[in-house]
Amino acid sequence: MISSSTLRRIVRGRESGTTFGLLVLCVGLWIATPYFATAANLSNVAEQSAVIGVIAIGMTFVILTGGIDLSVGSLVALVSVVIGSALQRGVPVFAAVAIGLLAGVVSGALNGLMITRGPLPPFIATLGMMSVARGAALLLSDGRPISGFPDGLRALATGEVFGVPAPVVMMLTLYLLAYLVLTRTVFGRYMYAIGGNEEATVLAGVNVRRWKTVVYAISGLSAGVCAVLLVARLNSAQPIAGIGYELDAIAAVVIGGTSLLGGSGSVIGTLIGALIMSVLRNGLNLLGVSSYLQQVAIGVVIIAAVLIDMALRRRVQRSSR
């Protein structure tokens, strides 16, 4: 399904810088501590990257169109609480999850409407939603976490498919889907076109308004899926969940090589970006590095990743002139 030309592109293309970075990091950790390169630890790392990894899918779409979504962290809390409240009232797991995801989609679509009809700048619209959703989550749950859920939901976090943790399977499946959508469908092309030059895309007869709204709905959906994962993992729906997740998601997207200006980047890059962040955190824990230094390290990696990406991009541009 992944053609040789795609592989060639990955090796020689923009993602190569980030992949190289990930490899360097892994090799470095492998040397520095024997606890890193074990099957169990790597499985943990993959599972830990699922939380931000899933949100980062939606964020990639949004950033590709030249926008941004600051509300995803709060949406995680809101959807968690919606699911928790539903389960508390005896709604079956399947339905509760569906209602939660719907809440995410609707909130995202609201973001999209504010941005296309306002028109409000995405930063402002999603900043407002960040506050509103957080408040809604606190209101709905009366500020208290909701816990004690049926096993069916927990299985989403603890289950395994052929030895691979369920969250990882979910994440990889969603990434594959996103990759196919972005590279093969009309919608995917529109994403890149809108981000590359919105005016020209309007002139080409594309209903940019509609598709931008859809993109933010997708971001809301990603946040919803993350919420499902979180509730399953913690066995609790917390209205204070997700604080700061939007920044981690943006970091994953940026490290992965997607330009904040829109129009270029790939979802594969985002996956690698999310992995880099998880590997880094995991490694620093294993090495017992002071928590204060950890915060510095993560910032440094983000800056370094963007610098490398910019340098690579300049090289690619120069060689194709």
Partner 1 sequence: MRATLSVRRFLVLTSALLIAGCNRGPDATARPTVALVVKTLNNQFFVDMEAGAKAAADSLGLELIVQAPEREIDVERQMQIIENLIQRKVRVLMLVPNGSKEIVPAVVKANVARIPVVVVDSRVDDGTLKAAGGTVATFIGSDNEDGGRMAGAYLIERLGRTARVAILEGVPGHETADARLRGFRKALAGSPAMQIVASQPANMERDQAFNVTQNILQAHPDITALFACNDVMALGALEAIAAAGKGTAISVVGFDAQDDARKAITERRMAATIAQNPREMGRLAVLTAHRLIHGESVPAEQPVAISLIR
Partner 2 sequence: MPTQTTPEPGLALQMRGIRKAFPGVQALAGVDLDVRRGEVHVLLGENGAGKSTLMKILSGALPRDAGTIEIDGRAAALASPREARGARIAIIHQELALVPEMTVAENIFLGRAPTRFGFLDQPAMVRDATTFLSRLGANIDPNLLVASLSIAQQQLVEIARALSLDARILIMDEPTSALTERESARLFATISGLTARGTAIVYISHRLDEIFAIGDRITVLRDGRNVATQEVRQADRRALVRLMANRDVDELMPPMERTTGTPRLRVEGLSHGNRLHDVSFNVRSGEIVGFAGLLGAGRTEIARAVFGLEPFDHGTVYVDELPVDIRSPQDAIAAGIGFVTEDRKREGLVLSRSVRDNVALPILRRLARLGIVHRKAETAIAQSSVRDLGIRTPSVSQLAQNLSGGNQQKIVLAKWLATGARILFLDEPTRGIDVGSKQEIYALINELAASGVAIVLMSSDLPEVLGLSDRVLVMREGRITGEFTRAEASAERVMACAVGI
Q: Does 148 bind partner 2 (CB under 8 A)?
A: no
Least distance from partner 2 to the Cβ atom of residue 251, Å = 23
First and final CA of the chain: distance in angstroms? 31
Beta bridge partners of 165: 160
Nearer to partner 2, 24 or 203 (CB): 203
Least distance from partner 1 to the Cβ atom of residue 73, Å = 12
Which stretch, 69-77, 144-152, 186-194, 224-232, contacts partner 2 (CB under 8 A)?
A: 186-194
The single residue among 33, 85, 197, 264 that binds partner 1, judged by CB under 8 A, is 33
**Amino acid (one-letter) located at 22:** L
Site residues for partner 1, 97-136, by CB under 8 A, read none
Q: Give Cα 156 to chain centroid, integer Å.
A: 18
* Contact predicate 314/259, CB 8 Å: no
DSSP 161: E
Choosing among partner 2, partner 1, none, which partner's interface includes residue 156 (Cβ < 5 to 8 Å by kind)?
Answer: none
Q: Does 321 bind partner 2 (CB under 8 A)?
A: yes
**Amino acid (one-letter) located at 223:** A
Applying CB under 8 A, what is the total number of residues that bind partner 2? Answer: 23
Q: Is 192 helix (H, G, I), strand (E, B) or coil?
A: helix
E strand or H helix that includes residue 134: helix 122-141
Q: Does 203 bind partner 2 (CB under 8 A)?
A: yes
Residue 173 buriedness (CB in 10 A; 0-12 / 13-18 / 19+): exposed
Site residues for partner 2, 244-263, by CB under 8 A, read 263
Q: Does 292 bind partner 1 (CB under 8 A)?
A: yes
* Contact predicate 62/68, CB 8 Å: yes
Applying CB under 8 A, what is the total number of residues that bind partner 1? Answer: 53
Residues 6+ positions from 233 with CB-CB distance below 8 Å? 51, 157, 167
Nearer to partner 1, 158 or 207 (CB): 158
DSSP 252: H
Which stretch, 160-168, 183-191, 217-225, 248-256, contacts partner 2 (CB under 8 A)?
A: 183-191
Residues within the interface to partner 2 (CB under 8 A): 184-187, 189-190, 192-193, 196-197, 199-207, 263-264, 320-321
